[in-house]
Copies of this chain bind each other. A is one copy, B any other.
Amino acid sequence: MEEIIVNAGGCLSRIFVGQHREDIARMIPGKGVVIITDDNVYSVYGKEFPGFPVLRIKPGEGSKQLKTVELLAAGLLEHNIDRSGFLLGIGGGVVCDITGFLASVFMRGISFGFVSTSLLSQVDASTGGKNGVNLGEIKNLIGIFRQPEFVVCDTEMLKTLPEDEYFSGLAELIKTGIIGDPSIIESLEKDHQKVRNRDPELLSDLVGRAVKYKASVVTADERESGLRRVLNFGHTFGHAIELHKGIKHGFAVAAGMELSLRWSRELEYIDNDTCERILNLFSLYNLRFDWHMSPDDMRKLISHDKKKSGGDIYFVFVKGTGKPFVKLLPVSELIDFYSRITRK
Does the CB pair A82–B135 fall under 8 Å?
no
Is there a chain B Cβ closer than 8 Å to A59's Cβ?
no
Q: Which of A133-188 contact B (CB under 8 A)?
A: 135-136, 138, 140-145
Number of A residues with CB within 8 Å of any CB on chain B: 35
Quick one: given A105-B142, A143-B105, A144-B144, are A304 and B84 in contact (CB under 8 Å)? no
Is there a chain B Cβ closer than 8 Å to A343's Cβ?
no
- Whole-angstrom distance between the alpha carbons of A310 and B132 in the complex? 28
Which residue of chain B is the closest to A104 with respect to CB atoms? B144
Interface locus among A17-25, A70-78, A278-286, A329-337: A70-78
Does the CB pair A130–B142 fall under 8 Å?
no
Quick one: given A70-B135, A73-B135, A82-B309, are A109 and B145 in contact (CB under 8 Å)? yes
What 10 pairs across the A-B complex have the smallest Cβ distances? A66-B66, A105-B142, A108-B143, A107-B306, A108-B144, A73-B135, A66-B70, A108-B145, A105-B144, A82-B309
- Whole-angstrom distance between the alpha carbons of A142 and B101 in the complex? 10
Chain B residues with CB below 8 A from A138, complex form: 77
Quick one: given A66-B70, A69-B142, A77-B141, are A308 and B82 in contact (CB under 8 Å)? yes
- Whole-angstrom distance between the alpha carbons of A66 and B84 in the complex? 23
Chain B residues with CB below 8 A from A223, complex form: 108-109
Q: Which residues of A contact B (CB under 8 A)?
A: 10, 66-67, 69-70, 73-74, 77, 82-84, 104-109, 130, 132, 135-136, 138, 140-145, 223, 304, 306-310
Chain B residues with CB below 8 A from A307, complex form: 83
A25 to chain B, nearest CB (A): 21
Chain B residues with CB below 8 A from A142, complex form: 69-70, 73, 105-106
A77: which of B82, B105, B106, B304 is its contact (CB, 8 Å)?
B304
- Whole-angstrom distance between the alpha carbons of A66 and B106 in the complex? 12
Chain B residues with CB below 8 A from A308, complex form: 82
A84: which of B140, B143, B309 is its contact (CB, 8 Å)?
B309
Looking at A66, A108, A306, the one whose CB has the most chain B CB atoms below 10 A away is A108
A335 to chain B, nearest CB (A): 17
Query: Could you give 29 example pairs across A and B, Cβ below 8 Å?
Result: A10-B10, A66-B66, A66-B67, A66-B69, A66-B70, A69-B142, A70-B142, A73-B135, A73-B141, A74-B136, A77-B135, A77-B141, A82-B309, A83-B306, A84-B310, A104-B144, A105-B132, A105-B142, A105-B143, A106-B141, A106-B142, A107-B306, A108-B130, A108-B132, A108-B140, A108-B143, A108-B145, A108-B223, A109-B144
